[in-house]
């Protein structure tokens, strides 16, 4: 393979990687279901939408399981305005430690990538919507 061919191959690989990153970012922004959040994709997710709500949960947590269908509903209802993500605290421990998540469920609210609030505990859908409303104001 010549030097020119190698250079073309490098350019091609970089272009494919960029397209894949852009595609992943677009799919995160346009989803109407909660996005799976991990320690490794957390920063990308919180920067992918103007307002992001991260549900910190665990499989063994009954209040967390109670909130799951509510988070799913809100994700559909607020699609395009708010991105909802779900972070399993048992499988991803770095982010909960960094944000001092001591109880679950905890909802971390980000605006433009910055933490602006947190809501702790299970509650009815209307109560969660009322608490989230203050973060949706311009």
Of the listed 58, 61, 79, 122, which one is catalytic? Answer: 61
Query: Token pair of 99, please?
Result: 């944000």
* Residue corresponding to tokens 């993500």: 85
Of the listed 37, 52, 53, 64, which one is catalytic? Answer: 64
Strand order through the sheet with 106-111: 35-37, 82-88, 51-57, 106-111, 114-120
**Residue 61 known to be catalytic:** yes
The kind and range of the H/E element at 106 are strand 106-111
The kind and range of the H/E element at 63 are helix 62-77
The catalytic residues are 61, 64
């Amino acid at each position: 393979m010549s030097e020119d061919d190698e250079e073309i191959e490098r350019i091609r690989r970089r272009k494919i990687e960029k397209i894949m990153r852009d595609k992943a970012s677009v799919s995160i922004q346009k989803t109407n279901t909660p996005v799976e959040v991990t320690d490794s994709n957390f920063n990308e997710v919180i920067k992918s939408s103007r307002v992001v709500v991260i549900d910190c949960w665990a499989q063994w947590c009954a209040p967390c399981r109670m909130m799951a269908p509510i988070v799913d509903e809100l994700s559909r209802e607020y699609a395009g305005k708010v991105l909802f993500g779900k972070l399993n605290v048992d499988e991803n421990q770095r982010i909960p430690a960094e944000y001092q998540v001591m109880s679950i469920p905890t909802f971390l609210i980000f605006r433009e990538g910055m933490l602006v609030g947190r809501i702790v505990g299970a509650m009815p859908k209307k109560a969660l919507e009322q608490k989230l409303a203050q973060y949706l104001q311009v």
